[in-house]
Structure formats: structure tokens, C-alpha cells
Amino acid sequence: MTPTVQKYLTQTKMNDLYIISTAVLVSASCGLLGVFLILRKMAMVGDAISHAVLPGIVLAFLFSGNRDSITVLIGAMVLGILASVLIEVIHKKARLQEDAAIGVTFTWLFAIGVILITLFSRQIDLDQDCVLYGEIAYVPLDLWFLESGVNLGPRALWVAAGLFIVVILFVTLGYKGLQITSFNEEFAVSVGISAIVWHYLLMGMVSAVTVASFEVVGAILVVALLVGPAASAYLLSKRLPTMLVLTIVFGVLSSISGYYLAKYLEGSIAGAIATMTGFWFTLSLAISKIKKPRSVVSKQG
């Protein structure tokens, strides 16, 4: 093995590591929040928010001039919360049924986002493909250099790590609040706990996570990561802590297997990871059926 090939291989392995680590951190962050989304039967609201933040990202990008800033994060978070407020208003005040309120809101916001991208295509460096499925493969290329010239590694990896820490803090600190408002909202309110506050806290966090993951993995993958691993964990968990841990496990499995699948097929990594969330879900479903064969489940709630 020549030194150049060896160097290339090591470098590739390093790139692999960067990409996979970023994917793992993003999927863990999305998954943990996704647990509460599916327990509250709000999976599609999560889908809606991930589309609705697009105009926020574009506008913030325009104002701040670059795509990596806090402005983008805040701008999109605002839009995520705005979207969930809009859905509520259209549903309650204009009296449109909830599924239609969700559908109309997020398609409209996403359409505006795409139009804005086209209008300002010169000032901003986003294209439709990137928006849909990001390009996590570029992660190793976008390195973060300090003034002193020290290479801290890929910027996206740092963002993902920061995100993960924030999510862990949120879920740990807010565990009881999220748990009780997801399980029995009426009881929570009767004890004086504000269901509305926890709702909007969760929506805000989902918006933030969506945005931060957006650039790396695009809109569609975010949904897959919000819902897939959590759904897989749901089938196999008796208790909430288990579900949270298993979600991370499934997220990790999907990220790693997805990465290698993409490499093998020379296709989109984001798409592959999304596909693999489906694979692991099927496996989890099979395991759950074996553990407890029930042909008809009594539906409640």
C-alpha cells in the first residue's frame, strides 16, 4: 500500500467519521423531541413545522448575509412557532378541520419559501435540492478555523453537538412537564401545570432542531428523524425513559446503516438514512409482534 493511498484511506475514514457523527447527533436530537411529538399525536405538525421554517431561513439569510448565523436560527424558530399558531387560529377561529389547517398552512409557507429563494437567488446560496435533502456529504469540507489557524473540524459537527446538548437539557429538565402534559393534559391543568406553555416550548424546540438540522440533512430527512426512530422505540418500550434511550439507539443505527447504504448505491445520504429508519422500524415491528402476537389492538384515545 503506497503512502498516498494510505493517506487517502485514512482521510476517507476521517470524513466518514465526521459525517456519521454529525448524522448521529442530529438524529438523536430530532428523535428525542419526536418521542413527544408522536405521543401527543402531533407527528404531522412536526412535518408541517419542518416545511414551514423555510421562509424564515430565507429571510434571515437575507438579513444576516450568511447562512450560518444565529439570525437564521432565530428567524426560523419564529416562523416555526408562527406556523403552529397559524394552524391553531385557522382551526379554531376560521373553523377549518385540523388536518386541512395543517396542510394549507405548511404548503403555503413552503411555497413562499421557494418563491423567495427564486427571487433572491443571487443574494442567497440555497437551491431547491439542498432545501429538500441538504447535503451532509459536504460536512467534512466546511471546516471551522479559529483565528489562530487551528482547525476545529467541521462546523456542522459542532452545530450538531451544540444542538444535542440543548435538546438533552430540555428533555431532562422538562421531563416531568412534557410527560404529564403528553399523558393526561386535563389532569395536568387541574394541578395547575400550563399545558399551553409546554406545548409552545416543544414547538419552539422542534423549530430550532428542524432549522439546525435543515442545512445538514434537508426538510424531508428531518421528518424521518423526528418520527422514525421514535416510532420504532414506541413499539418496544414499556416506559418513557426506555423509549427515549431506544430512540437514540434507532437513530444511531439508521444513521450508520444509512451512510453505508448511500455509499454503496452512490446516492443521497439523507435519503438513505430516511430509508433505513423505515428498515429498523420494520424490524422493531416484527420484534414487537413476536413478543406479543395480537391480531387486533384495542384503540383508545
Instruction: For residue 212, count other CB atoms closer than 10 A to its CB.
Output: 26
Rule CB under 8 A: choose which of 193, 201, 249, 256 binds another protein.
Answer: 193
Long-range pairs of 1-8 with CB within 8 A, sequence gap ≥ 24: none
C-alpha cell recorded at residue 108:
403555503
Q: Which of 243, 201, 276 is nearest to 20 (CA)?
A: 276
Q: How many residues bind another protein (CB under 8 A)?
A: 89
CB of 29 to another protein, least distance (A): 16
Cell 430509508: give the residue: 275
Q: Which of 225, 279, 280 is nearest to 38 (CA)?
A: 225
CB of 35 to another protein, least distance (A): 9
Identify the sign of the CA torsion 170, 162, 56, 214.
negative
CB of 51 to another protein, least distance (A): 7
**Interaction between residue 226 and another protein (CB under 8 A):** yes
Of the candidate spans 57-65, 70-78, 107-115, 145-153, the one that interacts with another protein by CB under 8 A turns out to be 107-115
Of the candidate spans 74-82, 101-109, 142-150, 153-161, the one that interacts with another protein by CB under 8 A turns out to be 101-109
CB of 140 to another protein, least distance (A): 19
By the 8 A CB rule, do 275 and 59 touch?
Answer: no
DSSP character string of 219-273: HHHHHHHHHHHHHHHHHH-SSHHHHHHHHHHHHHHHHHHHHHHHHHHT--HHHHH
Q: Which of 254, 185, 217 is nearest to 42 (CA)?
A: 185
Rule CB under 8 A: choose which of 99, 152, 162, 165 binds another protein.
Answer: 99
**Interaction between residue 190 and another protein (CB under 8 A):** yes
Cβ proximity to another protein, 70 vs 191, nearer residue: 191
Site for another protein in 16-75 (CB under 8 A): 38-39, 41-44, 46-47, 51
Rule CB under 8 A: choose which of 128, 141, 162, 169 binds another protein.
Answer: 128
- Between β-strands 151-154 and 143-145, what pairing exists: parallel, antiparallel or unpaired? antiparallel
Cell 387486533: give the residue: 296
Site for another protein in 281-300 (CB under 8 A): 281, 285, 288, 295-297, 300
Binding letters toward another protein, positions 232-271, x by CB under 8 A:
--xx-xxxx-xx-----------------xx--xxxx-xx
**Interaction between residue 114 and another protein (CB under 8 A):** yes
**Interaction between residue 97 and another protein (CB under 8 A):** yes
The overall longest dimension of the chain from CA atoms, in Å, is 71
Q: Which of 33, 53, 2 is nearest to 199 (CA)?
A: 33
CB of 105 to another protein, least distance (A): 9
